Chains A and B, each alone.
Chain A
Amino acid sequence: MWNSLILDPMVNSLLWIYNVLANNFGLAIIVFTILVRLITYPLTSQQMKSTQKMQELQKSKKWQEMQKKYKDNREQMAQEQMKLYKEMGVSPFGSCLPTLIQFPIIIGLYQAIIRALAVTPIQLLDLSNHVYPFINAAALIPLRNYFLWMDLSLPEKDHGLAIAGFGLPILAILVVVSTFLQSKLMTPPSTTGDQGAQMSKAMNLYMPLFMGYLAYSFPSGLALYFVTSNLAGVLQYAIMGKLDWRNLIPRKPA
């Protein structure tokens, strides 16, 4: 099920794009990521709308009053919050769910990159069972796994760019910075101190570090996906006219 619905289409799309782009796997990952971004646009759009609704709700008088009224009774406040969410038609997970849906895509893409690069006999044998007939695999395999300074099949911790004798985790740094930028720009700082705001704050803090860890430890192809996806997200946000650099400046909760 996972193979036929997620993995095989991903692997074959990557191979097809690789073929079209003059056998450049790095470019294939970049183009593929942009395509995934376009396909998941409805999710992103829904996430943005939910975030905006939540922001409006949190600025409302009703919300503020409720916060003050139940500040000493957290249980009651949670119940009242849920009531308000229902009343206003806001889902508290509306902005969180699309982010979580990204994880199966990340896992699928990671597996697709590993499967397509097929650097060991078992992987290559496995790939031979998953290539669609219309892909001219004989002409493409083995894929060229070098892009710029990267070996896309190896993690940066084993194959980082050495400058003056020091291995620099450039990709991992790019992933941390771009994930931080994206999450900050797409999640406007809350002026309230409620649970949702705290969750967002924690996400914005740990997500870039987590992504950086993944980028450092897993094949560089995945890190290339992260950077491209983040930058594409920021660009998408900018095109929609939602980009506000002031979001990067921390504001004190009301």
Chain B
Amino acid sequence: MHPMKPKHLLFLLTFAILATLLSGCAGGGATAASSWPGLTVDEENAYLAYNTYVYAIQLSNGSLKWRYPSEANRTVSFYADPALSPDGQLIVGGYNHVLYGLDPKTGSMKWDFLQANNRYIASPLVVEQGIFAPNSDDTLYALDLSGNLRWKFNAKGESWARPVTGQACDCIYLSSMDHHLYALDPADGSVIWQSEDLGGAMVGMPALSETGSLYIGTFDSEVLALNSQNGEILWRVPTEDWVWSGPTLAGDRLFVGDLAGNFYALNAGNGETIWQLTPGQLDGPIVGSPLVIDDSIYFGSESGTLYAVDTSGEIQWTQTTGGKLYTSPKQAGDLILVAPIQSEELLIAFDRDGAKKWAFVPEPKK
């Protein structure tokens, strides 16, 4: 017999191994996490969107109430913060380009919106007027609460952050990776104003003050304050590295971290640094927005440490989570919830003194 055939088989086998190696490098399968958990709470449950499921977890004891979909589907994954609507729905966007309206009591799907062309990385803004869902196809989709398209707005780049709205003007504020902030009319999506190029992409949600200022951090390593009426820059201050999530406004102070591992308390009026925790005091990049409750500020680091800091910048306590903390901590009554990645525990509840109350571990994959 001619030896050609085994040789062909050998080549095919070699190519198959190489193809597998390359596939392994991709890490792009639906089950390989490409972001960190999205987290929202109501009075009874935490809703956690991570990888192939949206979980409803009971705040009383951390047990699973339901998950959507009930069985994992490799083509569907979720990472954006789910949003609760005024009419009792849970709105969540998927990496499969679909926005879902779920029943938060049962996890059953009420409707889906299929017209977007890319991932939902940003959480939607859900208010009485409807749903405002940014998609990575550079478009903000405005829907009614039944999931019907009302209008859409095209920016020049993706938006990874939930839009914000406030009392100061009847506006939707949208931060975009195209370096611009937009103020849109919620009725029809027309542009009220557009900021100048702010120097870098923004993936964080702006903070909006009652006095009419918008605060945002950029990849140009800056925190900026803008006039929410016209987009004019009021002040800008440098940070050491990229600012990922939006700053948190509490009274007249802004709290924000950067990717070098600094944490800043800024004067919201003029941007002056009131105090700063440096990488020597903290243990890694700060990605999520801080949570401010009364006189305490809570934030997580990439090294998985949850910090509680008082208003003078003194670290009150720290807790390690055994994973990486990118998701912003959330308050649920007396609990502080954190959602680490690369940890067995997907959701951990601490009390205000840093004592661990419970942890949610999803059942292992069968």
Contacts and interface: CB of A to CB of B under 8 A. Distances in A.
Contact of B34 (A111, A120, A218): A120
Given A107-B22, A121-B121, A122-B34, A141 B79 contact: no
Contacts of A111: 25
B165 to A, nearest CB: 24
Contacts of B287: 125
Interface string B194-237: 00000111010000000000000011110000000000000000
A138 B200 CA distance: 5
A128 B22 CA distance: 23
A160 to B, nearest CB: 14
Interface string A190-208: 0000010011001101110
B6 to A, nearest CB: 10
A111 B35 CA distance: 18
A124 B63 CA distance: 33
B7 A199 contact: yes
Contacts of A205: 8
A138 B34 contact: no
A206 B15 contact: yes
A147 interface: no
Contacts of A128: 219, 241-242, 259
A206 B28 CA distance: 26
Contact of B219 (A107, A120, A141): A141
Given A120-B35, A122-B33, A139 B18 contact: no
A205 B136 CA distance: 40
Contact of B201 (A122, A125, A142): A142
Contacts of B361: none
B220 A138 contact: yes
B36 interface: yes
A18 interface: no
Given A121-B36, A128-B242, A202 B259 contact: no
A106 B22 CA distance: 9
B25 A138 contact: no
B199 A139 contact: yes
Nearest to B199: A138
Contact of A103 (B18, B136, B241, B259): B18
A70 interface: no
Nearest to A120: B34
Contacts of A106: 22
A123 B79 CA distance: 14
In this complex, the member of A120, A195, A207 whose beta carbon has the largest number of chain B beta carbons within 10 angstroms is A120
Interface residues of B, number: 41
A146 to B, nearest CB: 11
Contact of B35 (A110, A121, A210): A121
Contacts of A119: 119, 136
Given A206-B11, A218-B26, A121 B218 contact: no
B327 to A, nearest CB: 11
A143 to B, nearest CB: 10
B158 interface: yes
B7 A121 contact: no
A122 B35 contact: yes
B1 interface: no
Contacts of B34: 120-123
A114 B79 CA distance: 20
B121 A210 contact: no
A214 interface: yes
Interface string A128-148: 100000000111011000000
A20 B221 CA distance: 22
A203 B201 CA distance: 46
A110 B3 CA distance: 35
B26 A114 contact: yes
A218 B79 CA distance: 23
Contacts of A195: 3
A119 B201 CA distance: 13
A103 B33 CA distance: 26
In this complex, the member of A125, A195, A198 whose beta carbon has the largest number of chain B beta carbons within 10 angstroms is A125
B192 to A, nearest CB: 25
A213 interface: yes
Contact of B177 (A110, A125, A142, A207): A142
Given A121-B34, A206-B8, A214 B19 contact: yes
Contact of B119 (A120, A139, A198): A120
12 contacts: A114-B26, A121-B36, A121-B203, A124-B203, A128-B259, A137-B219, A198-B3, A205-B8, A206-B15, A210-B18, A214-B19, A218-B22
Interface of B: 3-4, 7-8, 11-12, 15, 18-19, 21-23, 25-26, 28, 33-36, 79, 119, 121, 136, 157-158, 160, 177, 199-201, 203, 218-221, 241-242, 244, 259, 287, 326
Interface of A: 103, 106-107, 110-111, 114, 119-125, 128, 137-139, 141-142, 195, 198-199, 202-203, 205-207, 210, 213-214, 217-218
**8 tightest A-B CB contacts, nearest first:** A138-B200, A120-B34, A138-B220, A210-B15, A121-B35, A138-B219, A202-B11, A206-B11
